[in-house]
Structure 1
Amino acid sequence: MRLEKDLLGEREVPADVYYGIHTLRAIENFPLSGYKVSVVLIKAIALIKKAAAEVNAELGYLPNDKAHAIALAADEVMDGQWEEQFVVDALQGGAGTSTNMNVNEVLANRAIEFLGGQRGNYSLIHPLNHVNMHQSTNDVYPTALRIAAIWLLKPLSDGCAALQEALQAKEAEFAGIIKVGRTEMQDAVPVMLGQEFSAYASAIARDRWRLYKVEERLRQVGLGGTAIGTGLNADKKYLFMVNERVRQYAGVGVARAENMIDVIQNADVFVEVSGLLKALAVNLGKMAHDFRLMSSGPCAGLGEIRLPERQAGSSIMPGKVNPIIPEAVNQTVFHVMASDMAIAMAAQSGQLELNPFMPLIAHHLLESLTILKNTVKVVNEFCVQGITAEVERCQNLLHNSQVSVTALVPHIGYDLASKVARRAMEGKITVRQAAIELAVLSEQQLDAILDPRAMTRPGIAGARK
């Protein structure tokens, strides 16, 4: 064990860990969820610490050997080392201070080793005086969250693009398959199966575009604003130089916000991003519901499409295969939508110059980005790409329905068309047979009007050219 001190007194810290007394107290104070702080967020914070150390050395505030040691330690964290040292619960009081201090202490103690010292010898490298120089949790944490979110947005957007392409491929594959279109779970009018998939593709295309554009909203950061955005205790040159260095290392176009007080106290940008994630979740969930419905049965349900068989579906019913991928998708989107509500509540609950609930926002936002990235990949590769059409089933359901009766309305009026529909339903006959019995039009006219393919295009079916 090693003895460390802070404002509240002395504590023994295990000798073999890189974190220190501030992290130890956070472990004790926040045994809440068991969720770990996002690795992506930790890496973004380490990146900021590296940039700050280098800039502070260039400005003469930090000796070069200390800055170099901190930068080396940060590089290790950014490369994925020492993940087991970041032990603070994701849900914590203090607006992220415990996570910031966890990173400060790990980097300090690792940097001390690079200088030949023993962990805990903060006369060599101090977590606050050196690693946290010219910083506050209040400007570092939200900046890191913005960077982490941008990093995760890119693969999600790419995944949406791949899913869109897969849906468009099915649109082309199913272009000639006509089936019953339904509204409010009731037979409506004919539609091409390909047309249904085109609608899914269009929805995902909108999501892809939204996510691509929202990155711009995350680029304005308050790094250098320190406690509340006024920049107290930070050199003016540092303010400009550190943002440039962070932009270089992060590979994203972050820039100092014109109003740093705004970006430190207000979290609405995260609500905006979360709202777009919720929109994607809604579209994925609706599509998954449709897949389950259209593949239902397969004998006693709709059975219009067949989903890839991924695993046996029952421990008691032999031969049963369930729509497990759409079911899993539905659950992930429910989770994302619940997270969106938590983010909104946390964002509006901030007071005055700071939002103390940033850890909750960070946890849910980065988790939603990760979940959706995985969900989009799974639904694409394990479901959409392997969907096949049950062509004969689609044809039989269409033939035995009354959906073509709508095409008669422009020719005989709504009331008479309703009589035809009622006669077909009661007599269990086709619309064409019912129309012939009621002598509403000639057989030749009916043949032209009741062509189901003509009903899937704009215009009046059977109208004279």
Structure 2
Amino acid sequence: MGAPRSDSARIEHDAFGPVEIPGERYWGAQTQRALGVFEIGEERFPACLIRAFGLQKMAAARANRRCGALPAALAEAIQAAAGELRDGRFDAHFPLTIWQTGSGTQTNMNANEVIANRANELLGQPLGSRSPVHPNDHVNASQSSNDSFPTVMHLATVLELEQRLKPALALLRDSLRERAEAFADVLKIARTHLMDAVPMTMGQSFDTFARQVGHGIDRIDATMPRLLSLPQGGTAAGTGLNAPPDFDVFFCEEVGALTGFGFSPNASKFEGMAAHDALVEVSGALNVLATSLQKIANDLRWLGSGPRCGLGELKIPDDGLTSSIMPGKRNPTIAEVLAQACMQAMGNHATITLANASGNFELNVAKPVLIANLLQSIRVLADASSVFARRLVQGIEVEPARLAANVENALLSVTALNPHLGYDQVARITALALEQRITPRAAALSLGVIDAATYDRIVDAGKLADPHARASRPDLRASSS
């Protein structure tokens, strides 16, 4: 943050008169007034949104200079101060909670004031001087909260998706793929309706998980064209009042140069300010992702349940934690954390959906709560996915003895006999095996409906789990019922 001030308080003036502000703080009169008005909650915007404001104000200063709307000296000072905001030097100077005006005006003004005060300081002036750099006339030049805040919403979302969530998901996908390859030949029994089904491999289970995560990445990528379209330049209502010609084009060029992403002006600033469908689309992709991740977490903790009285087919890595009362107990804590992160994202999606539906005419007025929930979803899914990949998936192992016993005793492997003996005859085999607690092979031989060699040739778990083997051998093709 900026250098501490020796004085305990200072007086700033705005259009409504004098305001006393803590001397070491870089915010100004409007932020201080808002602190006294919105005394609600403790939820604050994450640093990524505050830093995205620094990025937005940097690009705006550059664009204003190109348009001739700002003198070079002021534009350079604003750009330097905004760069420090983007780099995280002033995170502590954003005291407002998310519970504020639905356009995000107070946080936009907070950014304008911090940047103006810092720019003036760089130009040799004291905090609170409002000259030569004015928060509204210069830092907010050619802008309104109504187009700047939604632009920042898009910037923060793109950066968090690309730099935080997608790398975490790629790590998880690749970790699952590696386990799928490691377990490619490990036989297990599938379960449908929570009940025993037919043979498959553990590798096929992990490949399913990896594909779900991969599709989640694809869904996020599919939202990017709408996210990269920015409403900056629409100013108050979408008409561009007080913005010079080409400001929107120059702004997108500058923010693209600063980030490396292909941002472009929204052809309808009205659409980009009145509604935030693009952000709901992102949240929808995250909601699907959350359902996938929760399913994966649940499957792995069920398959690892035990160690002696559960399914016990997987060995979950030890995280070093235990029970407060049961000595030596090991719990699937990492899976539980991921599941809870997914629950949060699903709940956030409901809030985001309602927030987007709460616009009136030319302006959505639930922007702060919408973006706060969306960024939280991105953050918790990213962090939980990364921890899940590193601390659970990469170290997970199979329990060969338990898996082999389950495969040997599985009743429904005899489904492969349906084309040869008929459904009813095979049902007799499973019923006898269940009644006498014997293997289905022993039951089939006891009934005399098939000889051992034929049974072993057809009911081969390894071949039944391999779709390629079944495709090449008609006698291994299971019935479709």
TM-score by length of 2: 0.93
Q: How does 1:247-262 map to 2 (within 5 A)?
A: 247-262=256-271
Q: In structure 2, what is the Cα distance between the partners aligned to 1:243 and 1:347? A: 24
User: What is residue 4 of structure 2 aligned with on the other side?
Assistant: none
Percent identity between the aligned chains? 38
179-188 or 26-35, which moves further after superposition? 26-35
User: What is residue 13 of structure 1 aligned with on the other side?
Assistant: 21
User: What is residue 35 of structure 1 aligned with on the other side?
Assistant: 43
The offset of 1:238, in angstroms, is 2.2
Task: Confirm or deny that 1:64 pairs with 2:72.
Answer: yes
User: What is residue 369 of structure 1 aligned with on the other side?
Assistant: 378
Q: In structure 1, what is the Cα distance between the partners aligned to 2:49 and 2:476? A: 65
Q: How does 1:40-439 map to 2 (within 5 A)?
A: 40-155=48-163, 156-439=165-448
Alignment deviations for residues 380-439 of structure 1 (CA, whole Å, 9 cap, x no partner): 100000001101110112212212121121211112211211111001011111112222
The offset of 1:7, in angstroms, is 4.4
> Contact (CA 8 Å) 1:157, 1:212: kept in 2 or not?
no
The offset of 1:240, in angstroms, is 2.4
Q: In structure 2, what is the Cα distance between the partners aligned to 1:14 and 1:159? A: 40
96-105 or 31-40, which moves further after superposition? 31-40
Structure 1 consecutive aligned stretches of length 4 or more whose deviation exceeds 4 Å: none
The offset of 1:224, in angstroms, is 0.8
Q: In structure 2, what is the Cα distance between the partners aligned to 1:325 and 1:369? A: 18
Q: Which amino acid aligns with 2:155?
A: I
Q: In structure 2, what is the Cα distance between the partners aligned to 1:125 and 1:313? A: 58
CA gap 1:411/1:33 in 2 versus in 1, 3 angstroms: farther
Alignment deviations for residues 285-319 of structure 1 (CA, whole Å, 9 cap, x no partner): 10100111001011000100101100232111112
Q: In structure 2, what is the Cα distance between the partners aligned to 1:133 and 1:94? A: 21
Q: In structure 1, what is the Cα distance between the partners aligned to 2:369 and 2:447? A: 67
Q: In structure 2, what is the Cα distance between the partners aligned to 1:426 and 1:8? A: 87
SS at match of 1:93: coil
Q: Which amino acid aligns with 1:45?
A: F
Q: In structure 1, what is the Cα distance between the partners aligned to 2:67 and 2:241? A: 17
SS at match of 2:239: coil
CA gap 1:410/1:91 in 2 versus in 1, 3 angstroms: farther
Q: In structure 2, what is the Cα distance between the partners aligned to 1:397 and 1:318? A: 29
Q: In structure 2, what is the Cα distance between the partners aligned to 1:351 and 1:223? A: 19
> Contact (CA 8 Å) 1:304, 1:390: kept in 2 or not?
yes
SS at match of 2:433: helix
Q: Which amino acid aligns with 1:159?
A: A
Q: In structure 2, what is the Cα distance between the partners aligned to 1:56 and 1:257? A: 18
Which 5+ residue runs of structure 2 have no aligned equivalent? 1-8
The offset of 1:243, in angstroms, is 2.2
> Contact (CA 8 Å) 1:109, 1:120: kept in 2 or not?
yes
Q: Which amino acid aligns with 1:274?
A: S
Q: In structure 2, what is the Cα distance between the partners aligned to 1:383 and 1:363? A: 29
The offset of 1:30, in angstroms, is 2.4
Q: In structure 2, what is the Cα distance between the partners aligned to 1:399 and 1:415? A: 22
230-239 or 328-337, which moves further after superposition? 230-239
The offset of 1:57, in angstroms, is 3.0
Q: In structure 2, what is the Cα distance between the partners aligned to 1:60 and 1:252? A: 25
Q: In structure 1, what is the Cα distance between the partners aligned to 2:87 and 2:12? A: 28
SS at match of 2:190: strand
User: What is residue 475 of structure 2 aligned with on the other side?
Assistant: 463
> Contact (CA 8 Å) 2:66, 2:250: kept in 1 or not?
no
The offset of 1:166, in angstroms, is 1.2
User: What is residue 440 of structure 1 aligned with on the other side?
Assistant: 449
The offset of 1:19, in angstroms, is 0.4
The offset of 1:32, in angstroms, is 2.5
427-436 or 397-406, which moves further after superposition? 397-406
The offset of 1:453, in angstroms, is 1.3
SS at match of 1:4: strand
Q: Which amino acid aligns with 1:32?
A: I
Alignment deviations for residues 23-65 of structure 1 (CA, whole Å, 9 cap, x no partner): 1122222233312212111222222212222332343332222
Q: Which amino acid aligns with 2:151?
A: T
SS at match of 1:187: strand
Q: In structure 2, what is the Cα distance between the partners aligned to 1:88 and 1:457? A: 59
Q: Which amino acid aligns with 1:206?
A: H
The offset of 1:3, in angstroms, is 2.5
Q: In structure 2, what is the Cα distance between the partners aligned to 1:3 and 1:302? A: 68
The offset of 1:256, in angstroms, is 0.4
SS at match of 1:463: helix
CA gap 1:398/1:462 in 2 versus in 1, 3 angstroms: farther
The offset of 1:274, in angstroms, is 0.6
61-70 or 15-24, which moves further after superposition? 61-70
Q: In structure 1, what is the Cα distance between the partners aligned to 2:35 and 2:440? A: 72
The offset of 1:462, in angstroms, is 7.5
Q: In structure 2, what is the Cα distance between the partners aligned to 1:396 and 1:134? A: 72
Q: In structure 1, what is the Cα distance between the partners aligned to 2:210 and 2:68? A: 55
Q: In structure 1, what is the Cα distance between the partners aligned to 2:465 and 2:448? A: 26
SS at match of 1:236: coil
> Contact (CA 8 Å) 2:196, 2:411: kept in 1 or not?
yes
Aligned alpha-carbon RMSD (Å): 1.7
TM-score by length of 1: 0.96
Equivalent pairs, count: 465
User: What is residue 30 of structure 2 aligned with on the other side?
Assistant: 22
450-459 or 93-102, which moves further after superposition? 450-459
SS at match of 1:188: strand
> Contact (CA 8 Å) 2:70, 2:138: kept in 1 or not?
yes
